[in-house]
């Protein structure tokens, strides 16, 4: 089945928007992490607690951003240009990002993911950090 050029233009636009959102989530995570760490430091005077909030929030922002970027890569490969070369590249990208996500979760939580009672996404890690920064 042959698709019109408009179809591919719209899909490319969607991919660019997804990539932009992923980058925006990363930048917003950085800004939020800095804000929460500074707020925690000013409220408590505890540098260790502020650093912990910074690490958790920044790690959660990176995890959330990576999830959105993977979605953009999937759309690009499956819908826009599904060549074997692109599928292989997507597989490598997903493997690298999965490894990064896994490593970040271990770094943030201090334990293996399957040892936690509840599985958390990047967004829930940010929410937990926000709660802890207000304590």
- Residue 8: the pLDDT is 79
User: Per the structure, how many domains does the chain have?
Assistant: 1
Residue 94 sits in which domain range?
Answer: 5-133
Q: DSSP string of 32-45? A: HHHHHHHHHHHHH-
pLDDT digits (tens, 9 = 90+) for 31-86: 999 999 999 999 999 999 999 889 889 988 888 898 888 888 888 887 777 788 88
The pTM score is 0.70
* Residue ranges of E strands in 29-135: none
A 10 A CB-CB count for 65 gives 22
- Residue 1: the pLDDT is 54
Mean pLDDT of the chain: 82
- Residue 20: the pLDDT is 95
123 vs 37, more confident: 37
- Residue 22: the pLDDT is 93
From residue 77, alpha-carbon distances to 12, 32, 63, 92 in Å are: 11, 32, 21, 12
Interhelix angle for 122-133 vs 47-75, to 10°? 160
Task: For residue 101, name the pLDDT band (cuts at 50, 70, 90).
Answer: confident
């Amino acid at each position: 089945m042959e698709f019109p050029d408009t179809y591919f233009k719209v899909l490319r636009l969607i991919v660019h928007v997804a990539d932009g959102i992923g980058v925006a989530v990363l930048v917003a995570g950085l800004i939020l992490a800095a804000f929460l760490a500074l707020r925690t430091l000013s409220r408590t005077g505890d540098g260790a607690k502020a650093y912990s909030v910074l690490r958790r929030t920044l790690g959660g922002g990176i995890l959330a951003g990576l999830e959105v970027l993977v979605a953009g890569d999937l759309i690009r490969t499956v819908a826009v240009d599904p060549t074997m070369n692109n599928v292989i590249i997507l597989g490598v990208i997903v493997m690298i990002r999965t490894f990064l996500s896994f490593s970040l979760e271990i770094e943030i939580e201090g334990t293996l993911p399957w040892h936690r009672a509840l599985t958390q996404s990047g967004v829930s890690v940010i929410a937990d950090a926000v709660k802890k920064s207000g304590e």
